[in-house]
Amino acid sequence: MVATDATRRGAPDALLYPEIEPYASGRIALDAVHTMHWECCGNPRGVPVVFLHGGPGGGSLPHHRRFYDPAFWNIVVYDQRGAGRSTPCASVHANTTQNLVADLERLREALRIDRWLAFGGSWGSTLALAYAQAHPERMLGLVLRGIFLASRAEIDWFMHGMRTIFPEAWRAFAEFLPPEERGDLLASYYRRLTDPDPAIHLPAAHSWDRYEGACSTLLPQPDAAAKFDADAAGLAIARIEAHYFVHEAWLRDGELIAGVPRIRHLPCTIVQGRYDIVCPPVTAERLARAWPEAEYVVVPDAGHSVREPGITRELLAAVRRMQARV
């Protein structure tokens, strides 16, 4: 394990590579319902890297293009089914981990990429591990952040345990529901989030997203909750996250740890905020102990968000180190 120095100085966006526009983009029909949006930036002849967004349901944003040297990398960014610019937005129809793995492989084939580096945080780390274990021959390596393995304990922590650190945020989250619905927060939220009536599902989505946003940074961010208030984006995050939580991400408990031997030969860096409350360090340590060859970096003054200055700094450094290894 590598424990880095305190790194809260500097605005995270100022640390990133300059803004960049895609040189190509498109859509792939995944089935009769879902269409997936993708884009490529940087060097068309460069080494491929694919960004896996969080949530699930979070979608990609322009700043996600900026963690990689555009002269070296061929940067692939896409929106998982139901998220971002993929359609239909917030759909949970046929939305499973196994289908997301298959979607990613379809994207690789469509772009005629032989092997690529996977870069993913939070749920993106889950999907990166699931995809790599299904297709290790297609991987150059992994850069992972804020590890989430989709265990029942992690889901229970999100729904109840975070109140230990953020009691006010959890109380608002729980008390959004009427008293008779608070016995099973996940089931009650899922029922509301999947209700077809916007008057029911949108307030539930805003409550869910504000809870998660309030717990995502080491220090309070005044706009952390407000950024989730856009109806479509907020609904996609809340509805799809609850959908995956209810189904335990269609993964057996411990499945991703059991699959590590299939990918231990690949270079990997794990970046973890010491005070990540959404995805606590105990999970990242579990992965690091199962994968001793992986580089494990703990940022001492960071929470969960990729926009924490220390997290941003260490991810950039990890990608730079990967340039010599892929």
Active-site annotation, residues: 122, 276, 304
Token pair for 141: 């390596």
Burial class of 313 by CB neighbour count within 10 A (0 to 12, 13 to 18, 19+): buried
Residue 101 and residue 249 in contact, taking contact as beta carbons nearer than 8 Å: no
The percent helix, strand, coil of the chain (3-state, each to 5) is 45, 15, 40
Number of H helices, E strands in the chain: 11, 9
Residue 246 and residue 189 in contact, taking contact as beta carbons nearer than 8 Å: no
Alpha-carbon distance 213 to 181, whole Å? Answer: 23
Alpha-carbon distances, residue 218 vs 47, 224, 249, 308, 314 (angstroms):
34, 12, 27, 8, 16
Alpha-carbon distances, residue 270 vs 34, 92, 223 (angstroms):
32, 29, 27
Closest CA to 247 of 305, 187, 194, 307: 187
My answer on whether omega of the bond before 22 falls inside 30° of 0, hence cis, is no
Alpha-carbon distance 300 to 308, whole Å? Answer: 11
Displacement of CA 52 from its chain's centroid (Å): 6
Q: Can you tell me whether residue 155 is helix, strand or coil?
A: helix
